Copies of this chain bind each other. A is one copy, B any other.
Amino acid sequence: MKVKISDIAKAADISTASVSRVLNHQGGYSQATAERITKIADEMGYFKNRSASDLASRSNNTIGIIYTDFETNFNDLIIRNTMLEAKQHHLDVILMIAQQNDPAGLTKIIRDMIERRVFALQFISTHPSPQMIEMLNRANVFPQVIGDATNHTVSSVSSDDYEIGYQATSYLINHGHQRIGFVSPSVTRDYVTRLRFSGYQRALDDHHLHFKADWLVEENYSYQAGLKAANHYQQTDIDAVIGVSDEVSWGLLNGFYDAGCKVPDQVALISVDGTQLCEQTRPQLSSVTQDFASMGKTAVRQLIDNRATPHQVTTLTVPFKIDARQTT
């Protein structure tokens, strides 16, 4: 039913080997036959069977991307740039989405990727547990985490999160703020947050400011978290806040608005991520802006470089900047 290489071979009265050669642009045939074969293949509506091809050639030039439908909104940015870079290097990409907080589901997806024999696996706004890493190692596929560092032994490309915390805080302090809130996931459980919070604390220390417990709101990266935190801050004497994602900061902004608290006059607000969203709020959110585009591209190059030296753990860091807009 489906036309295969042997059908073309028959129709062209030539061997399957030759057909394969021209269809894959491998050279070693005359211009004439090349054209003839191509034409016939076209007419017959031939489509390579990837399974057969991959199997026979033991090849493997597709990279897998796993991401979660997270509260954050920078996935697209990373994915798009990853794909762009992949295209440059003639790699195929397949995506799969994992649900949040569903280890079993994630495991299944990783399994699926392994079975499809991707040569590398990128994780965006999620990361594999130690067991999953173990599984990937056994399967000999190279995992890499983007934009979400872990203390696990996986390669990663991300921003310097400690420095993000430090810079954001310093920025606020240098603009005259003294009582600085921090809204984030759990400082103890979330690794990225731990780093950022360390930077935050260090900046406070360096400026002889004394941290107070009610400055910290531990929730997650969501808009809701921001809303809730803004509410909480009504009972405090905070004069500035760091929201650890654009969504959180948006929530903060609206929360303050709803409470009749003026931003930036009564509270300054700085976001972390710096996606488009920041320019779409009123007032526009100042932010620590991560370079997600660069992360995506760097990650792919990294994958390619390390193809030879499998499972060497590398940690790459991409520069960020601070964009002052209207909330500071």
* A residues at B contact (CB < 8 Å): 1-2, 45, 47-55, 69, 76, 79-80, 83, 92-97, 99, 111-112, 114-117, 138-140, 223, 250-251, 254, 257-258, 276, 280, 282
Contacts and interface: CB of A to CB of B under 8 A. Distances in A.
Contacts of A114: 47
A94 B97 contact: no
A96 to B, nearest CB: 7
Contacts of A93: 96
B92 A95 contact: no
A115 B45 contact: no
How many monomers of this protein are in the complex?
A: 2
A95 B113 CA distance: 12
A96 B223 CA distance: 28
Given A95-B95, A223-B280, 16 more contacts: A1-B140, A2-B139, A45-B138, A45-B139, A47-B139, A49-B55, A50-B116, A51-B116, A52-B55, A69-B80, A80-B99, A95-B97, A251-B280, A254-B280, A257-B282, A282-B282
A324 to B, nearest CB: 19
A55 B45 contact: no
A53 B51 CA distance: 8
Nearest to A2: B140
Contacts of A223: 276, 280
A64 B326 CA distance: 43
23 contacts: A2-B139, A45-B138, A45-B139, A47-B115, A49-B55, A49-B115, A49-B117, A50-B115, A50-B116, A50-B117, A52-B55, A69-B76, A69-B79, A79-B97, A80-B97, A93-B96, A94-B94, A94-B96, A95-B96, A223-B276, A250-B280, A254-B282, A258-B282
Contacts of A112: 92
Nearest to A73: B73
A96 B117 CA distance: 17
A79 B111 CA distance: 20
A90 to B, nearest CB: 11
A93 B116 CA distance: 12
A79 B95 CA distance: 12
Contacts of A51: 50-52, 54-55, 116-117
A258 to B, nearest CB: 8
Q: Which 10 A-B pairs have the closest CB atoms?
A: A95-B95, A45-B138, A51-B51, A50-B115, A51-B55, A51-B54, A94-B94, A47-B114, A48-B115, A50-B116
A97 B115 contact: no
Contacts of A2: 139-140
A54 to B, nearest CB: 4
A243 to B, nearest CB: 14
A282 B253 CA distance: 10
A246 to B, nearest CB: 11
Contacts of A92: 112
